[in-house]
Chains A and B, each alone.
Chain A
Amino acid sequence: MSTTTLPAPVHKMPREDYLNATYGLRSWLLTTDHKRIALLYLGSVTVFFFIGGLFATMIRIHLLTPNGFLVTPETYNKLFTMHGVAMIFFFLIPSIPAVLGNFLIPLMIGAKDLAFPKLNLLSWYIYLVGGCFVLYSFGTGGLDTGWTFYTPLSSVYSNSAVTPAVIGIFINGFSSILTGLNFIVTIHTMRAPGMTWFRLPLFVWAHYATSLVMVLGTPVIAITLLLVGLERMFHLGFFNPALGGDPILFQHLFWFYSHPAVYIMILPSMGVISEIIPTFARKPIFGYSFIAGSSIAIAVIGFLVWAHHMFVTGESTYAALTFSFLSYLVAIPSAVKVFNWTSTLYQGSISWDTPMIYAFGFIGLFLIGGLTGLFLACLGLDIHIHDTYFVVAHFHYIMVGGAVMGYVGGLHFWWPKITGKLYPEVLARIAAVTLFVGFNLTFFPQFMLGYMGMPRRYHTYPPEFQVLNVLSTAGASILALGYLLPMLYLTWSMRYGRVAGPNPWPATGLEWKTASPPPTENFDVTPEVDWEPYDFRNRPDLGLAASGPLPAPAHGDD
């Protein structure tokens, strides 16, 4: 490390900030402050993460033995469905945008709030109402259609509580749409003077791209699930072949949203990584405009690939060929990002702080997840590994290895800003490594299982697959520990952590120029931006000089 240790400055908590400006339950439930709404979301997505995690735990325990000993086959169907629904619609999609995005976008662009603060609060309530419908479905018969709701199983044959679940996801869609709409308008109209488009943090670019997907994709899943609900309630036939309808049409409409939805999960995470890497490499990010442009490219190309989920459904061969080709194209902007992140590290003065460990973990896991995605985009190979554990492992590498790593890494990175406190660094590094090891042990065996032919969504498997399944379950328990640790010490640090000060790392974004935690209005005076992004050398306002040592990151247990 080229940094030297200077005497650590002693910081005091600001006298008044967004957390203590007003008190009482009412001041939280009726708040229009984007920072408080972000915390409301943080609480509610964590609840759904626990619910989804509980189902995952039961799945992994059940699969310890070839015949499964925990639940009946019917219950098993419900477990993987409810795991998927809770995790995808109620954790992964809102996690980074609604928590970190909500908190940070106005701070990063120098605005007092999002453009529509009341809509922002409304979107949280909509999320809650949607969530209640889904929990009602889970509690009154469960859901066994798979998170994909394929018809006619979901619309005719399933005996589980499909209707409330479909209504819940339909409602929840509007929460997502409102968040995306709010972000787009905010980024367009609320930027501080001097904050030009190419001075925006890459986190904001990533959220702009994410919002595009939310706004353009979510309405299609809304109408699709509405039609499924109507079909189930009134015995209509849109997607029911017995009545002349077409189930493949349902899959087209479903994946038109649900494939781009993968980018709703991964793009914000990429934004987080783009903030962490320059900060702990102490170097301007390499290829700023390419990373920004690749976010938009991923959002656009992501809409052209959906039918690669349908290679074995009987869609036309020519369509399959086209979608296979288009799917390969997504690899280009994704690779651009990975190359630029690694190039940023070159000749950087890298410190192995917790957020950086998550960022490195992200790059490695995303690489594996992305490359195995190319296997699946390959038309011929996909027919062999379609609907096997290979697919399960692939999308968990993207969604858990990618999106959740970014989310947890981002929570650590901005925790001092959100709470004003530092977390214990040693414990946090141990947790980050635990998470990484547990994750790989859980899901790498699943690649092998899938390639050997173990189908997904089965409650039983041949005995020769047991060793790998036991490994996977063992990994899942380590993974669970990796999630529990941060929850414990982050909560602990809110009360007992060291005071962070406005810019503990130090990082260069506008959000680090205001107090930690920020005041309700974010900035005492509207800031004016006259610097380029990620410049660690010409920022006298942050105490970063053109020459001399850069201050070392502050830690909670130094």
Chain B
Amino acid sequence: MSEHIVSPKIYLVIFLTLMAGTAATVWAAYHNFGAFNIVIALAIATFKATLVVLYFMHARYSPKRTQLVIVCSIFWLAIMLVLTLADYRTRGMHESRLAPPSNSNLVRA
């Protein structure tokens, strides 16, 4: 494994970008984007986390195997979050459709 040495200049640029991201997330929190508040907050956080993984943790220059490990961790986290939330988001949908018809419907029938 030939080692890739990341130059301090890149580290500094990444650090400044992370600072800008922190400022942006605070700024965004003081403005109301409705349902997008959480989306924006998470998008900025994910952008920052990606920079840390790619450059500070050298994932960009790592062997494919390491990159696969990272993708796996995200994939399994996604399984847990998505399938659980799928349950919460669809609770009661089926039941409400099967709700007993109101009296007016009965009369018409």
Contact = CB atoms under 8 A, between A and B. Distances in A.
Contacts of B72: 216
Contacts of A303: 76, 79
Nearest to B86: A319
A526 B59 CA distance: 32
Nearest to A257: B80
A316 interface: yes
| Most chain A Cβ neighbours within 10 Å, of B79, B86, B87, B91 | B87
A186 B15 CA distance: 35
B76 A319 contact: no
Contact of B94 (A188, A248, A317): A317
Interface in B60-109: 65, 72, 76, 79-80, 83-84, 86-95
Contacts of B65: 188
B87 A307 contact: yes
Interface in A285-342: 303-304, 306-307, 314-319, 322-323
Given A188-B65, A216-B76, A303-B76, A316 B83 contact: no
Interface string A334-367: 0000000000000000000000000000000000
A103 interface: no
B90 A319 contact: yes
Contacts of B93: 316-318
B1 to A, nearest CB: 11
Interface string A391-410: 00000000000000000000
B56 to A, nearest CB: 22
Given A304-B83, A322-B86, A316 B91 contact: yes
A249 B85 CA distance: 10
Given A188-B65, A216-B72, A316 B90 contact: yes
Interface string A177-199: 00000000000100000000000
A361 B75 CA distance: 37
Nearest to B76: A216
A303 B80 CA distance: 8
B90 A318 contact: yes
B87 A304 contact: no
A316 B90 CA distance: 6
B94 A318 contact: yes
A386 B56 CA distance: 50
A71 interface: no
B92 A316 contact: yes
Contacts of B84: 249, 252, 256
B80 A256 contact: yes
A156 interface: no
B75 to A, nearest CB: 9
A433 interface: no
Contacts of A248: 87
Nearest to B98: A317
Contacts of A306: 83
Nearest to B77: A216
A153 interface: no
Interface string A526-541: 0000000000000000
Interface of B: 65, 72, 76, 79-80, 83-84, 86-95
12 contacts: A216-B76, A220-B80, A256-B80, A316-B87, A316-B88, A316-B93, A317-B93, A317-B95, A318-B90, A319-B83, A319-B87, A323-B83
Given A306-B83, A316-B89, 4 more contacts: A248-B87, A316-B87, A316-B91, A316-B93
* Nearest 7 A/B pairs, CB to CB: A319-B87, A317-B94, A316-B90, A318-B90, A316-B91, A252-B84, A216-B76
